[in-house]
Amino acid sequence: MSEEFVKIPQDRLGVLIGKEGEVKRHIEKRLSVKLEIDSEEGLVRIFQKDGAEEPLNLWKARDIVRAIGRGFPFEKASKIFSDVFIFEMIYLPDYLGKSSKAWERQRGRIIGKDGNTRKTIEDLTNTDICVYGKTVSVIGDYDGAADAKEALEMILEGKPHSIVYKYLEKRKKDKVRDIGDNLDF
């Protein structure tokens, strides 16, 4: 039997379970999986129900649980039910080492004044971004998530916001041009 394990923060377990267990039940029913939640440890065991035929559903359930654990509300995490959307996560210590001051500074650069930087990246890539703890997570289609992750990595490398925005605007124009080129018969 295939199974996945995801550890999520205690303060996110209520979001995963939902009012009267509705979120947990919805995930289980929609993806033919079972979620066993150890509320003491914050550990979620995900496995396929007997007779389940779609092996990718296990990974979708894992990514939905991870997205909720990384701060997304269920409404946004549920986009992952679709085959179009993916979940990406950046672990800040991988880029910035162990300095909590560096994490805070870069979290501030990613969020921006009044959330404007995050919102601009979301708008230019058609994604959702959540900054939570030591992570920055993205939900979007493959191209949008890849572009958002690249933009976030550029910010973490210290690039000016204007350079990041120009990169994303160019990527957006290139995609529109590519779509137009594909429409020419």
Which stretches does DSSP call E strand in the chain?
Answer: 3-7, 33-38, 43-48, 85-91, 128-132, 135-141
Residue 14 CB contacts under 8 Å (≥ 6 apart), including other chains: none
What does the domain layout of the chain look like in residue ranges? 3-81, 85-183
Percent of the chain with pLDDT over 90: 76
* CATH no., domain 3-81: 3.30.1370.10
pLDDT (tens digit per residue) in 29-85: 999 999 999 989 999 999 987 766 777 899 999 999 999 999 999 999 999 999 999
CATH 3.20.20.70 applies to domain 85-183: no
pTM over 0.85: yes
CA 185 to chain centre: 37
With a cut of 60, say whether residue 185 has pLDDT above it. no
pLDDT (tens digit per residue) in 9-33: 999 999 999 999 999 999 999 999 9
> pLDDT-derived band of residue 1, with 50, 70 and 90 as boundaries?
low
